[in-house]
A and B are shown apart, each in its own frame.
Chain A
Amino acid sequence: MGLFFYSFRSLLARRSTSAAAVLGISALVFTLAGTLMLLSGVRRALEQKGDPSVAVVVSTGSTSETESSWGMPQASAILAERGVTDPRAHVEEIVTLLDLPGRAGGHVTTAVRGVGPNWESFRPQFRITEGRMVKPGAGEMVMGRRMKKRLAGGAIGAEVEFRKNFRAKVVGFFEDDDSFYESELWVDRDYLQRAFRREGFLSSLRLRLDSPGAVASLRGALEHDKRLGVRVYGEPEFLEKQGAIAGGLVTGLGVAVSFFIGLGASLGVAMTMFGMVSQRRREIGVLRALGFTRAQILGSLLVEALLFGSAAAVLGSLAAVIGLSSIDFSLSGGAGEEVSFKFDAGLAPLLAASLAAVAVCVVSGLLPAIRASRVPPTAAMRG
């Protein structure tokens, strides 16, 4: 126990060295934490939450709603056949892309979704945060709240031009449970169809079924009709398929990058700790000569390493959270549209970086200590 105070005070005596070492290690923790936060943020943004009881019907082979197109008459026939009339139970949508000037210059490619008038009843998570919802048939648009900062025209009253005779006025902003919808622009479906010359076609039909199991029976009913040419997915399954290439690539790159940065940072931390302990061989020799057992000495060095690692971990993580959390940027999602996201200051990435730092500090602090404590005291003091 006495040695604990000794280690603490010896660290203080070597203030500048200790401080420099802690700073050095926390810079490495910052780098690792930042990388993990980034990857976690991207994963979360691309990871789309879906309702497993909602079936999404798209044309066969489509990997995105943008690409999918099938006939509205067929969709109406499906609804009639199954006796679906409740406006909370179905919605037909068209999805396409729109280029608009970005607030930071250049152009932003966004997904624009034509929604039916019953959208609000279909999705209870949807909420207008500013202004109001679009009126059926009108040339109006509501923007997902993430687009407010991204687009130059991200304000109520701004006009968005599709074609000369098709200009939509922004009438509101919405939020939707932090989902991907918040990166989209929504317009009345009929208006969007006429603007994009897509009369008679929809992209996707969403049906709210009684249970996730019902999706399979719907699939059986619809997919065998080859003329219909559609596929039925549970919503989570479809969203995963839509983001598959993007997600796979990002995950692959992310894992590789974290590994390398983690390895490089760990080697740097190890180097720092090794250096710190090796310097004190003489000191360890003196302690042994004074009568302290090897266990006690190693114990105090272990505590020192833990202190170092924890201090650096806390500093590095704090710096990462404070410095990086407010950074907002965007990637392209599954269908070419932009998805904006931030560094995820969640527990997982920070904890991972901190634990890695502490672990490496302990291992690389103890190994030289073990070696140094084996040296006979007189040899060490002669050093």
Chain B
Amino acid sequence: MYYRVPGPRPIMLRLAWKNLFRNPLRTFLTVAAIAVATFAFVLLRAVKSSWDTQATNQTSLVVSRARASLLMTFPIRAADEVRAVPGVAEATPMLFLGGRVVGREEEDFLGLAVEPNSFLDVYADHMTLDPGDRECWLRSRDGVLLGERLAASFGYKRGDRFSLRPGFAAADAPIPLQVCGVYGAKNGADDESAFLRFDYTNEYLAAARKDQVTLITARLDGGASTTEVSGRIDEHFETSDTPTSTVDETTFAKNFLSFLRAVLQAITVINGVLLGLIGLVVGNAIAMSVRERTSEYGLLRALGFPSGSIFWLITGEATFVCVLGGLAGVAAAFPLINFALGPALEAGSNGLFSSFRVGPGALGSTVLAATSLGFLAAAPSALRALRVRAIEALRSID
């Protein structure tokens, strides 16, 4: 069916605005409902963006792991083979140890055994390291580099010694280590890992694990395509004992947080539900008020207003309600998140929430989303109102 709906006239919008105050209680409740839903929406968006930021970084690194499992290992000589792949500038092997510090086993520790020179080369753009610390690590076989956050939570500094009991079936006996230094993270890398030297660690590894690695990270030549090089690496290992799966580092980091990813998906769904809630409430409210005012619309038509203007009268009211509710929700959420909840969560969640903030862009798009929903929810009632003929409208009592 085709309805002729001309553009909104200013007088209709003014009328729509005034209509809001005719039934203040209804308007208040509707605005409140929208505000609540918008508040929750913004809160969830803050959660979402707090985790998304951890996984975004622009790099030209690719990471190879065993296709079958992140916990499957393959021989360290694979690193030489990766270096020979066209497009690869340097490759560094890494063995995932996890591990628990002897005497402080209840605290999380993330240890990896790496080849010092190639490691420092590949991750040059991702780490800041004091030259003295670097020297120490290259010189001391039992040296370990700790990320800033990890060092802070354990209270370790250069020169401290501790023993690490590796997990994931890497070794049976604890490995004695000395702290050579602390590295800072750049460009989205994490500062919660510990890097041991592979040559030293290898002596402690279980027989089945000697010379085995979990990951190979490769730095590409300038201009090389991550997709192409990843494909070449995987092709090379296709026929080997352990086929690989190679992706760019950003994707790898994202996959690592698969649990969080699932929660993020759930949050997206819930946000959809919240928008639906807004639509339902507004739709309901508008349908009710339209039904009440049918005779008025008849009057307006009799006075000569075109039917299209009724459309804008109704949807205008819905839009105003949504904007008010959206702004209210956003106004409540902004200070709560940025000044209270955010700092509290960032400090107290042990790294789970690294940056719990919400910016004007997110707030603006939320209000826009709520408003569009309200407009859409009101549209059916508004369109239905167009069909009413003036005489019938004036006659109706319900």
Contact = CB atoms under 8 A, between A and B. Distances in A.
Given A260-B39, A271-B33, A163 B212 contact: no
A264 B36 contact: yes
A267 B242 contact: no
Interface in B198-251: 206-209, 212, 240-243, 245
Interface stretch (A47-55, A94-102, A149-157, A206-214): A94-102
B394 interface: no
A250 B265 CA distance: 13
A261 B274 contact: yes
A275 B167 contact: no
B33 A336 contact: no
Contact of A197 (B209, B266, B273, B278): B209
A182 B211 CA distance: 35
Interface residues of B, number: 70
Interface stretch (B144-152, B188-196, B282-290, B312-320): B282-290
Contacts of B208: 197-200
Contacts of A198: 169, 208
Interface in B156-186: 165-170, 172
B273 A272 contact: no
Nearest to B31: A267
A196 B71 contact: yes
Interface residues of A, number: 66
A105 to B, nearest CB: 14
B258 interface: yes
Contacts of A336: 70, 258-259
Interface string A191-222: 00000111111000000000000000000000
A20 B380 CA distance: 14
B15 interface: no
A31 B259 contact: no
Contacts of A263: 36
Given A24-B284, A250-B263, 16 more contacts: A16-B291, A21-B288, A61-B105, A62-B167, A69-B167, A162-B68, A164-B243, A197-B209, A200-B169, A201-B172, A264-B277, A268-B29, A271-B33, A271-B285, A272-B288, A278-B25
30 contacts: A24-B280, A61-B100, A62-B167, A66-B168, A99-B67, A109-B258, A162-B68, A164-B241, A165-B241, A196-B72, A197-B73, A197-B208, A197-B212, A199-B207, A200-B208, A245-B352, A257-B270, A264-B33, A267-B30, A268-B30, A268-B277, A270-B29, A271-B281, A275-B288, A275-B292, A278-B23, A278-B25, A331-B262, A332-B259, A336-B259
7 shortest interchain CB distances as A-B pairs: A61-B105, A260-B40, A267-B33, A332-B259, A201-B169, A271-B29, A61-B100
